[in-house]
């Protein structure tokens, strides 16, 4: 995805589908395409959500290899799915590109990445990015 500077943002459609929405955005696929593959891999995806490992497996089904980075994440330069842990002890995925965060829970507002993380009192868990 490194060359791509335009993304079609996909909002959430269910309570625990931030992983589906952000993966669709990263892969340039429709929400429905990703949900169908996700449902095959993890049938209760909309009840339990998904983990980074699930997203990596789903991306592979589309022929895209993702790597999970847990250190040296550059919010300004990297693009991918940013996994966050909130103070209320729940995890959430947002889409990161060019120093901006697009939260699939919200409207199509772009947030400065550092401002968003501080506002949400969130801790970065990981970043999923396409292999070079």
Say yes or no: 73 and 108 in one domain.
Answer: yes
- pLDDT tens digits, the chain, 132 residues: what are they? 445 568 899 999 988 999 999 999 999 999 999 999 999 998 888 888 899 999 999 999 999 999 999 999 999 999 999 999 998 778 999 999 999 999 999 877 899 999 999 999 999 999 999 997
Q: What is the DSSP string of 29-90?
A: --HHHHHHHHHHH-TTHHHH---HHHHHHHHHHTT--EEEE-SS--TTT--EEEEEE-TTS-
Full domain range(s) for residue 44:
18-66
Say yes or no: 54 and 72 in one domain.
Answer: no
Residues 6+ apart with CB under 8 A from 110: 100, 101, 102
Whether the full predicted model's pTM is greater than 0.75, yes or no, is: yes
Six token digits for residue 75: 């919010």
Say yes or no: 41 and 62 in one domain.
Answer: yes
Cα-based distances in Å from 123 to 30, 64, 90, 116: 28, 27, 11, 11
Are 66 and 59 a contacting pair, CB within 8 Å?
A: yes
Say yes or no: 125 and 72 in one domain.
Answer: yes
Question: For residue 90, is it within any domain?
Answer: yes
């Amino acid at each position: 995805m490194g060359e791509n500077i335009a993304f079609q943002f996909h909002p959430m459609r269910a309570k625990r589908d931030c992983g589906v929405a952000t993966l669709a955005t990263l892969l340039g696929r429709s929400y429905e395409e990703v949900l169908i593959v996700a449902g095959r891999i993890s049938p209760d995806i909309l009840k339990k959500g998904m983990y980074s490992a699930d997203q990596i497996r789903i991306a592979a089904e589309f022929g895209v290899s993702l790597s999970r980075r847990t250190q040296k994440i550059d919010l300004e330069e990297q693009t991918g799915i940013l996994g966050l842990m909130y103070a209320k002890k729940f995890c959430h995925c947002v889409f990161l590109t060019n120093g901006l965060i697009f939260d699939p829970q919200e409207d199509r507002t772009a947030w400065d990445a550092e401002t968003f993380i501080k506002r949400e009192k969130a801790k970065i868990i990981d970043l999923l990015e396409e292999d070079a």
